[in-house]
Structure 1
């Protein structure tokens, strides 16, 4: 027991409209402090986050700490760093699989989920407030950010697509602005969901709809200049005068095959010896291997490419090269 003469006052900021969970969390805090202190304990909710000693922040599935914390300011400005580290931050997720356990940010002191038992939440709260008395206070001068991917977790084009989605644009409009196909946008979305550890599309919509995420990626669109965006594209799109998607895909296929062939010229004697597999071209085009094979067969019928079959039985492989 720690004797005290004055009642202990703990302002708490809980960023949620779930009153049932908020009242249960305040009850656990009051019960925990009454066991540790002899005097009275006053725990009150406040609407200002920076005026509270404990900040309970609810996150959407897949939301990371660097979505709402300025990582650059945290590393370079001591005032911002000590302001963030001077509070107790408790993150709450719907499920345990909705957050990445490999990211250990010094800002977040504890993580719980809505499905945790009362005993687990109580143990996390005890460690949150009384771990310093057992192991000493943490060193605020050396925050450990070395293992955090930070804002560089997503590729530039993936961030740009998220910015357009946060503005409410459709897939066709985004494909026109980014100069890519709708299939490529679907590939970007699957890559984003894999990186932020989201399996359901509904969870992806909740993550993108959160205020911190949508605001961050909306700023990326504002700094995007379409005239100079072609220099950062994996491939350039040829706009056909009729606006046909089929001729556009065939042109991009030819450009991809030329680029792959050129990259292998230092290994082979001549271009006639270079044969490309369907998977290699599909990876370069960022589309499925089945769509790629269907498109190459159409181009073979028109005489744009030629193919050979290597192997035998179930291990046979179609290889392609440009027609001379």
Structure 2
């Protein structure tokens, strides 16, 4: 005897707009109950992880750019389940470069017509239930996926921007031209398919660690930690070597040296950089002056002072007028004592 019991589908809504959710719920019942003879059961109390594992249809709101970033919880989705993403951004989603866990997702807008939403849902459901369709495993899905990541410079620029600094202030702090800072900000917005600064701040607030360059990145945009690049001078025999190190300090902006001591501090830093000490056999320190081509550049001195290039150049110019430092051109402007 054949079993004529209707198929029951679990549906979960993760959307704060209850009016739209109720309208979409009625549309789903019309599509599956009346046309396909399936029974829909709406879940209200399940947590997100459990809902993703057991739901046949999952409806979630997506803000601008969220469809392009890594969302680890999405790999918990039930195999051949239908994900309906309600888009809130102004730009159209970039469907061709979606993460693997969002493949087959249906993107709809709140202002879209009912017939358009109906056609998308019916087409996606038919595709998922095709006999030739095979869902990817979690391991294969993640290993072959390359979500959007930001470079180190882009991370720094958007970090300062999220903290409330203007583009001109960021350019002054990082020693860049304001147009360069603007170009990095625009590159981040293009990567994440954003149309406004408000959308950038919103995605930074919610998903900053997910778009960092590395999975275990030391920087969290939402904390009071900003990266400051310094030069650490380490003598090697009679040769001057320098290597970049990343110092992450808990402060809202680079340290500013007190005005009354700033000029002398810049002079002392330059003197130390031009005459690094090396230990001799007699355990005495010997001064090893550098050649002109090894003198530090303005940016190197600014990094040591934890200040901008413009401020460092100002004090170096005053010291040059006093005859205490020299400026030469050797593959760039260099300073010496």
TM-score by length of 1: 0.57
Q: Which residue of 2 aligns with 1:26?
A: 25
Aligned ranges 1:140-289 → 2 under 5 Å: 140-141=136-137, 142-143=140-141, 149-152=146-149, 154-166=150-162, 168-171=163-166, 178=174, 180=176, 183-209=179-205, 211-213=206-208, 217=212, 220-221=218-219, 226=228, 231=244, 236=299, 238-239=301-302, 245=310, 248=313, 258=331
Distance 2:196 2:329 in 1: 32
> Are 1:97 and 2:91 an aligned pair?
yes
5+ residue gaps, structure 2, are 232-242, 247-297, 317-326
1:13 and 2:13 correspond: yes
Deviations 1:114-145 (CA, angstroms, capped at 9, x unpaired)? 33221121122223333233343324245497
Q: CA deviation at 1:103?
A: 1.0
User: CA 1:144/1:133 → structure 2, altered by over 3 Å: closer, same or farther?
Assistant: same
Cα 1:189–1:133 change in 2 (3 A) is closer
In the aligned structure 1, how far is the partner of 2:127 from the partner of 2:87? 22
> How far apart are residue 59 of structure 1 and its match?
1.9
Could you tell me how far apart the structure 1 residues matched to 2:191 and 2:300 are? Answer: 27
Higher strand proportion: 2
2:302–2:312 Cα contact (<8 Å) kept: no
Could you tell me how far apart the structure 2 residues matched to 1:105 and 1:115 are? Answer: 25
**Distance between the aligned counterparts of 2:12 and 2:313, measured in 1?**
57
What residue is the counterpart of 1:69 in the other structure?
72
Question: Take 1:256 and 1:115, find their aligned partners in 2: how far apart are those partners?
Answer: 62
CA-based RMSD of the aligned residues comes to 4.4
CA distance in 2, matches of 1:115, 1:60: 15
CA 1:199–1:116: 2 relative to 1, 3 Å: same
SS state of the match for residue 134, structure 1? coil
Q: Is the 8 A contact 2:148 2:211 kept in 1?
A: no
TM-score, normalised relative to structure 2: 0.55
Larger Rg: 2
More helix by share: 1
Do 1:49 and 1:55's aligned partners in 2 also have CA atoms closer than 8 Å? no
> 1:41-69 CA distances to partner (integer Å, 9 max, x unpaired)?
33343452223213322222223342423
**Per-residue displacement from partner, 1:174-214 (whole Å, max 9, x unpaired)?**
567755465543232122123323333333333333x1246
- 2:85–2:108 contact (8 Å) kept in structure 1: yes
**In structure 2, do the counterparts of structure 1 residues 23 and 231 end up closer, same or farther at CA, with 3 Å as the change threshold?**
same
For 2:63, the equivalent position in structure 1 comes to: 60
Number of residue pairs aligned between Structure 1 and Structure 2: 241
